[in-house]
Amino acid sequence: MPQTLYQKIVNAHTVKTIDANTVLLYCDIHFANEYTSPQAFAGLVERKINVLSPDSHLCVVDHIIPTHDESPRRIYDEASLIQAQTLENNCKRFGIAAFYGADSPSQGIEHVVMEEQGLVRPGMVVICGDSHTTTHGAIGALGFGIGTSEIEHILATQTLVYRLAGTMRITINGRLTGDATAKDLVLAVLRKISARGALGLVVEYDGEAVHALTIEERMTLCNLTVEAGARGAIVAPDEKALQWVFDHAKNLSKEDKEAMTAYTAQMHSDADAHFDKEVVINASIVKPMVTWGTSPDQAIAFDERIPSPESFDDPVAQEAARRALSYQDLKAGDFIKRTPIQHVFIGSCTNSRLCDLEAAAKVLRGRHVAAGVRAQVVPGSMRIRKEAEEMGLDKIFKDAGFEWRKSGCSLCLAMNDDILAEGVRCASTTNRNFEGRQGRGSHTHLVSPETAAASAVMGYLCDKSELKD
């Protein structure tokens, strides 16, 4: 029978069929952070079990780590320090050599580190105790987040008891035009299908617009797809994906590359494969987007008015809109453009890669952050930070009035002292705008790096066309 790419990957990794809906799935690689892994390691200790394949795991401190620009970097909060030390001790105890702590030159956000080191390959099953593991579908891998008990099972057996997912194909025709970016594209996708539009499904992206995206742009697309309830997001690997791996995995031999190229040629959905759900989107009409509510799908273009709750057919969506407008202190029918902001954050596993920093710096060059706005940029990894500094991007950010930080999850989820005060409104390149996500009572608006930079300069929400005016 014709198969989807998702089905091909699952079948290739199935160790045993448990029942019609469940398999024992082999996992190629697992990475862990200090925030979601301690109980899993504790379970191994309690049961006196070793890690089956230590070389198949990478551990990094990224959630609780401060991003202050100091050297050496210190973790001042006692509870956070204990978490970081516990992860390091667990790695030593179980023979996991790949550990990146607070002052490691390879430290960074886990989803960024995995890709920049070429550890994710087409056709892999990639696991992490974090929902945004869907990011790695950009390479043609099946990536998804798991819970603590499942992490324990992975560490002990390198397998996972896995419930099969449904399938969805989102075909994006046309090309992005004007100032629209990959972040705007995925916000447009979420608005179209809703926060429950891919619930329980693995999404495969296809179409001219997807093929035209860079690998980093595909990472942004796959990263945010989990906000539609997706259990995975994947793009069939092509020459761009292969070249990304070849450029970043320095230990590949000629034979390795030839074998990967041959294998990747089979990594696509068959022509007659069945998808449980199909959606078609036109990329050419996508404009710079901004979220107005408290869910990533509550987004509009800057030339659109904030929708009224009654404009939604679904009663659940209507109630969500009412609550969002109340929390965000916004009114239906108003334009969100020129809503004053007090904070700008460029970072997170969604938009903290070198290309994101370059895009924001291009907008900021020769300009300065508006009075009353605090602006921060947090590179996705220490390697990216170093590369950005070699290019002089740090100087552009600093001259513009931005704080140049070290890598970490930071304000994406209000860790350490990177927390917004109540009432502060922030233009953020992150992936979630939930109530209190960046601080109790704070207001988060998801935007692209370019929009974040333009908003910082103007002191209110706007896309970069406002600078031309």
Q: Which CATH number characterizes residue 56's domain?
A: 3.30.499.10
* Model pTM above 0.95: yes
Q: Flag residues of the chain having pLDDT under 50.
A: none
Count of other CB atoms within 10 angstroms of residue 161: 13
Are the C-beta atoms of 23 and 164 separated by less than 8 Å? Answer: yes
- In whole angstroms, how far apart are CA 89 and each of 51, 84, 163, 373? 14, 9, 32, 41
> Residue 193: which residues within 8 A CB-CB, separation 6 or more?
170, 228, 279, 297
Whether residue 439 lies inside any domain: the answer is yes
Residue 343 shares a structural domain with residue 457? yes
* Number of domains present in the structure of the chain: 3
φ and ψ at 106, to 5 degrees? -100, 5
Pairing of strands 289-291, 299-301: antiparallel
Identify the pLDDT of residue 416. 79
Check if the beta carbon of residue 152 is closer than 8 Å to that of residue 44. yes
**Radius of gyration of the chain from its Cα atoms, rounded to whole angstroms:** 21
Domain boundary among 263, 290, 317: 290
Look at residue 310 and tell me if it is in a domain. Answer: yes
Q: Which of 148, 163, 178 is the last residue of a domain?
A: 163
Give the residue from 261, 290, 319 where a domain finishes. 290
Please check whether residues 149 and 255 belong to one and the same domain.
no
> How high is the pLDDT of residue 469?
58
The beta strand positions in 174-284, using DSSP E, are 201-206, 232-235, 277-282
Instruction: Give 322's Cβ-side CA count (13 Å radius).
Output: 7
Based on the fold, state whether residues 43 and 137 are members of the same structural domain.
yes
Q: Do the bridges between strand 159-163 and strand 22-26 make them parallel or antiparallel, or are there none, so unpaired?
A: antiparallel
Answer yes or no: do 190 and 125 share one domain: no
Specify whether the CB–CB gap between 114 and 136 falls below 8 A: yes
Examine the domain organization and report whether 317 and 435 are in the same domain. yes
Statement to judge: residues 200 and 100 lie in one domain: no
Task: Kindly give the pairing relationship between strand 142-145 and strand 125-128.
Answer: parallel
Are residues 153 and 171 located together in one domain of the fold? no
Query: 109 lies in a domain?
Result: yes
Handedness of CA 228, 229, 232, 236 (dihedral sign): negative
Residues 447, 375 within the same domain: yes
CATH number at residue 192: 3.40.1060.10
218, 76: one domain = no
272 near 245, Cβ under 8 Å?
A: no
Per-residue pLDDT, 257: 97
- Three-state SS letters, 252-279: CCHHHHHHHHHHHCCCCCCCCCCCCEEE
- Asked if 204 and 217 sit in the same domain, the reply is yes
In a domain, 39, yes or no: yes
- Is the link from the previous residue into 72 a cis peptide, with omega within 30 of 0? yes
Helix (H), strand (E) at residue 364: helix 354-364
295 in a structural domain = no
Give dist(CA 298, CA 443) in Å, integer. 14
Per-residue pLDDT at 415: 84
Token pair recorded at residue 289: 């987007």
Q: Does residue 227 sit within a domain? A: yes
Q: Is 142 found in the same domain as 11? A: yes
The whole domain housing 178 covers 166-290
Identify whether the C-beta of residue 76 lies closer than 8 Å to the C-beta of residue 95: no
Say if CB 110 and CB 101 are below 8 A apart.
no
442 and 312 share one domain: yes
The reply to whether 450 falls in a domain is: yes
Name the amino acid, one letter, at 402. Answer: F
